[in-house]
Amino acid sequence: MTRDFFRTFAACAAVLAGPALAQQDFSKVEIQTEKLADGVYMMSGGGGGNLGVSAGEDGVLVIDDLFAPLTPKIQAAIAKVSAKPVRFVLNTHWHFDHTGGNENFGKAGAVIVAQENVRKRLSKDGFIAFLGMKTKAEPAVALPVVTFTRDLGLQLNGEEIRAFYAPRAHTDGDTVVQFVKSDVIHAGDTFFNKSYPFIDTSSGGSVAGVLAAANRILNIAGDKTKIIPGHGPLATKADLRAYRDMLATVSSRVTAQIKQGKKLEEVVASKPTAEYDEVWGKGFFPPEKFVAMLYDNLKK
């Protein structure tokens, strides 16, 4: 899946997201549904961001909505677990592989909810510098209607759903969502499981913010908590801890070499990720690209 995601990004580099994505063949994508607790599901497919779903008496809340062409498949997958309509879409951040279905769900009557910076970024043409990718401003119906600055609580389907802002993490608008009773957390793209992460500094992200988000989730998670990463398979607290440790170790190695005045080629040649490549280096970014991204982030 992360391979597909990488191909999508590669295909999109330096072109507009819309037309490039329209060329991707979504017809064979199947949405996978994994039950995590009563009425709480993880859904995934098409190489985009993992979905979190709360379904029950009060209706359906969806966290993130993949790409626009997949909306009918997502709706069909939801219909298998609930007869109720999608009342809320909560975006974990503004990236197109997490918000692509907003227009469709907005037109179908869902209320879109997100941190205020998500609305700001979706409202205008954007640029993801490290990927060389331009994005188009979204129409009004695709924009968040309910925005918040720091934290938000939703009382839905018999439980409290807490959304909290993770500042300057993967972007400047990341939200982590906790299903308190079900003991499930959706980490958005502050967490890539079993794949080197992308940190979008051109959208206000930072390595320090991603580490802070991971630490905050580790503080509230228990050993049995199910953690939905933005990308990759369902995770445990131990997986998140391994991710945090990997990112902290590699970034401190890169920072040390930047301080010694090393050039990017030299840092890459020193293989600062070596012992992690087997587990983390086969996904979204190959090791060299991940090191280049960190170098770019950390030298600022």
Taking the least distance from each CB to Zn ion, the nearer of 108 and 131 is 131
List of residues contacting Zn ion (CB under 5 A): 95, 189
Minimum CB–partner distance for residue 198 and Zn ion (Å): 6
Taking the least distance from each CB to Zn ion, the nearer of 5 and 88 is 5
Distance in angstroms between the alpha carbons of the first and the last residue of the chain: 32
Minimum CB–partner distance for residue 201 and Zn ion (Å): 12
Minimum CB–partner distance for residue 160 and Zn ion (Å): 26
Minimum CB–partner distance for residue 174 and Zn ion (Å): 9
Taking the least distance from each CB to Zn ion, the nearer of 95 and 237 is 95
Taking the least distance from each CB to Zn ion, the nearer of 105 and 130 is 130
Minimum CB–partner distance for residue 203 and Zn ion (Å): 8
Taking the least distance from each CB to Zn ion, the nearer of 156 and 284 is 284
